[in-house]
Amino acid sequence: MDKDSNTKSKENRTPQGPLSGIKVIDWTLWQFGPVAAMMLGDLGADVIKVEPLTGEQGRAMFTLSGIDRSLPGGRNSYFEANQRNKRSIALDLKQPEGVDVVRNLVSESDIFLQNYRKGVAERLGLGYEDLKLVNDKIIYGSGSGYGPEGPDAYKPALDTVGQARSGLMYATGPDGDDPYPIQGVVADQIGGIMLSWGILAALYARQATGVGQRVDASHLGSSIWLQGLGVSMSMLTAHKPSSETNLTAKPSRDKAYNPISNYYRCKDGRWLMLANLEADRYWPTFSRAVGIEGLAKDKKFIDTVSRAKNNRELIKLLDEVFASKTYKEWDDILSSAGDFIYAPVQQLMELWDDPQVQANKYIVETDHPTLGKIKLANHPIQYSETPSSIRRVAPEIGEHTEEILLEVGYSWDDISNLQDKGVIL
């Protein structure tokens, strides 16, 4: 076998992502829609990002929450994080020729994604009913703030209003009654995750029925589902006193009902999180491990109810205990003394050095043509036969316009004509 044949043979054996061969048109902005499309791209789909001639809005996010997010070469970390595994085509959709390009792309695609407010896509002729006429097998993914129905379906939304309306802002933050948004734009992130999940279900249904469909996900619905256990439990026990059912109750650390499911500061300043929910099972061995075995049979701490009744006293004592040793010392003690459930409270910049993160490739390093070696959060699911991958970094504006147009039948003369009219760059 010659060298070229051997190379081709190796390429043919290379595992491909589970969505290899699927084409996605990604007409989305900010984070919600782009994350959904990016996750499909991670799985091997060919994702074509449609953006205006000036670039999608996320390209201008050089500052986020007052933090400088700019990168060399006119790039920014917000856009880079949300737009990998995509090719970019830049179009002026205010011109009918630009809309025609999208419709031609849709005719040969499997999935179309958009997260503009309700009515925008329809006014341009890019709504589900419009594109279904072009390709009746298209799966049309739509992301919104509050869902496709109801009095506020037409209202615009971004991450923090999704957190606010879903109750998520009252489920976290410091002690007290003030609401507090979770950092990291999590309503957008969970919205994108749920939209991609819905699209995968629709792909499976299409395989069985041959029929495409519209898939809707929203900030509101996704953020409620992110709290699904708490929301459902609260609804189920709504007839009980509010003190027992209030999902948003945030008791301070020194009033935790179960003191061995709480967090404590160690001698070196690091925090240790205990999560021993089966408290009576763990209490005897735990008290022995941390050197307070004399309290194991104390009537004030003998069982869960007693420890809850005297929680402040026990937590104050445990504060002193954990402050006597470093996290590393406690890690050695707890790991050798039993099957306790605990972990260090880590900051984001510590994750790369976490051996468990490294072993499972939850954060990966990849090459970037402008930035060199970069680290990105990886696709979070592992597949034994069809692995996900990062094949492309975020594209430049319209980087692949000509390539994409040629693939759907445009000639070089057609491309020159579109350039002359200002439809493409």
Rounded Cα gap, residues 196 and 219, in angstroms:
14
The residue ranges of the chain whose pLDDT is under 50 are 1, 3, 5-12, 243-245
The one-letter code for the residue type at 155 is K
**Could you give the angle at the alpha carbon of 30 between the alpha carbons of 27 and 31, nearest 5°?**
100
What pLDDT sits at residue 243? Answer: 47
Task: Determine the pLDDT at residue 249.
Answer: 56
- pTM of the predicted model as reported, rounded to 2 decimal places: 0.90
Q: How high is the pLDDT of residue 251?
A: 64
CA pair distance 311, 260, nearest whole angstrom = 10
Domain boundaries, the chain: 15-226+363-420, 253-349
Q: Rounded to an integer, what distance in angstroms lies between the CA atom of residue 101 and that of residue 37?
A: 19
Alpha helices in 3-145 (DSSP H): 3-13, 32-42, 77-82, 96-107, 120-123, 128-134
Are both 15-226+363-420 and 253-349 of the same fold?
A: no
Q: What was the pLDDT predicted at 10?
A: 39
Fold of 15-226+363-420: Rossmann fold (3.40.50)
Query: If residue 169 lies in a helix (H) or strand (E), which one and from where to where?
Result: none
Contact between residue 422 and residue 98 where contact means Cβ atoms under 8 Å apart: no
**What pLDDT score does 211 carry?**
94
For residue range 35-49, list pLDDT tens digits in order.
999 999 999 999 999
- Inter-CA distances, 260 with 98, 231, 254, 343, Å: 61, 25, 12, 13
Give the pLDDT of residue 170.
Answer: 84
Domain 253-349: assigned CATH number:
3.30.1540.10
Give per-residue pLDDT as tens, 318-375.
Answer: 999 999 999 999 999 999 998 999 999 999 999 999 999 999 999 999 999 999 999 9
